[in-house]
Amino acid sequence: MHYLKFRYFIKFMPLTICSIVTALFSQVINIKEVNQLPDDPRALYLDLMKKCLANTIYEDSSCHPGIPSNYDQKNREYGLDWPSTAHTMIGMKRLDNLQYCVESILNENIPGDLIETGVWRGGATILMRAILKAYNNTERRVWVADSFGGLPPVNTVKYPADAGWNLNKYSQLNVSLTQVKNNFFKYGLLDNQVVFLKGLFSRTLPKAPITTIAVLRLDGDLYESTMDALINLYPKLSEGGYIIIDDYFAVPPSAQAVTDYRNTNNITDPIINIDDSGVFWRKSL
Ligand SMILES: C[S@@+](CC[C@H](N)C(=O)[O-])C[C@H]1O[C@@H](n2cnc3c(N)ncnc32)[C@H](O)[C@@H]1O
């Protein structure tokens, strides 16, 4: 349509149609604003990987017992739901943080492997392996530690802080080793740089043949699970390495374990918030 005719048409268009057109235009502008992709292929691969792992693409429903089941973008951004099919529940913010930590240790040559204790469907560890792949790193390993059968029943005699946190009753949290291996396989990332530690942390972590860790990610929810990981793995974390606590604000027993461990070991490195749930700190150099 000729420009002048278009202006004339707009001028006399009823107000309601005008607002529909305005709304459509502003939607287009919004979509353009959020679609800012990185330029280089490595960053593009990792960006798409995170979107696949959190499934912000196909938007699956939630199976969290405490929130509505419909897909909610904010929940997936902040890792607040339990996705019914996505490979991680930690959300985009904490995936971004994990990428930041792994890329930092690679760029700064901080020695050690990568590990997550509490992997569920494996998504965070799949991202770890993807980053090593993207950086062509063939030396570091990704350790994948889980019971592969859900959380243990709480032991309130030994760990009173865990009282009431009976997460073992949720079958949604039971994911088998076969399922997790399959998930790695689907991304083409199941190889000998990935090592699985099957069993309760109290049994597997003390004898795990890991010498040095560069990124230590704790996501076992309970005081017991967090403390077992801290006692057995934190001493192996390199100076300049990162520790991430997924549940610090979401599950108070986990934060209690962190506070107790830090106090006992005089750790004063500042704790940095990631989102409303997770925190991390860097072991001082
Ligand atoms: C919240 S989910 C982990 C979510 C995962 N990081 C992700 O990316 O979606 C907690 C996991 O920790 C595991 N877990 C908790 N305590 C454990 C323990 N003491 N020993 C072994 N596995 C444990 C559970 O089996 C479950 O898979």
Q: Is the dihedral of CA 177, 223, 152, 273 positive or negative?
A: negative
Q: What is the pLDDT of residue 33?
A: 62
**Residue 13's pLDDT band (boundaries 50, 70, 90)?**
very low
Indicate the top mutation candidate among 117, 167, 216 to test ligand 1's pocket, ranked by most ligand atoms within 8 A of CB.
117
pLDDT, mean of residues 223-227: 98
**Residue 39's pLDDT band (boundaries 50, 70, 90)?**
confident
pLDDT, mean of residues 121-146: 98
| Domain co-membership, 26 together with 150 | no
| Domain co-membership, 204 together with 167 | yes
Which residue type occupies 84? S
Q: Does residue 69 have a pLDDT over 70?
A: yes
Q: Does residue 222 have a pLDDT over 80?
A: yes
- Considering its fold, how many domains does the chain have in total? 2
Query: Ligand 1 atom closest to Cα of 247?
Result: 1
What would the pLDDT profile of 172-208 be if each residue is shown by its tens digit?
999 999 999 999 999 999 999 999 999 999 999 999 9
How far is Cα 279 from Cα 97, in angstroms, rounded to an integer?
Answer: 9
Determine phi and psi for 104, rounding to 5 degrees. Answer: -60, -45
**Helices and strands per DSSP (H, E), number in the chain:** 10, 7
Average pLDDT for the chain: 90
What's 250's domain CATH number? Answer: 3.40.50.150
| Domain co-membership, 264 together with 166 | yes
Indicate the pairing of strand 213-218 with strand 237-245.
Answer: parallel
> Atom 12, ligand 1: which residue's CA is nearest?
118
| Domain co-membership, 127 together with 168 | yes
Domain hosting residue 183, numbered range: 41-282
What would the pLDDT profile of 157-166 be if each residue is shown by its tens digit?
999 999 999 9
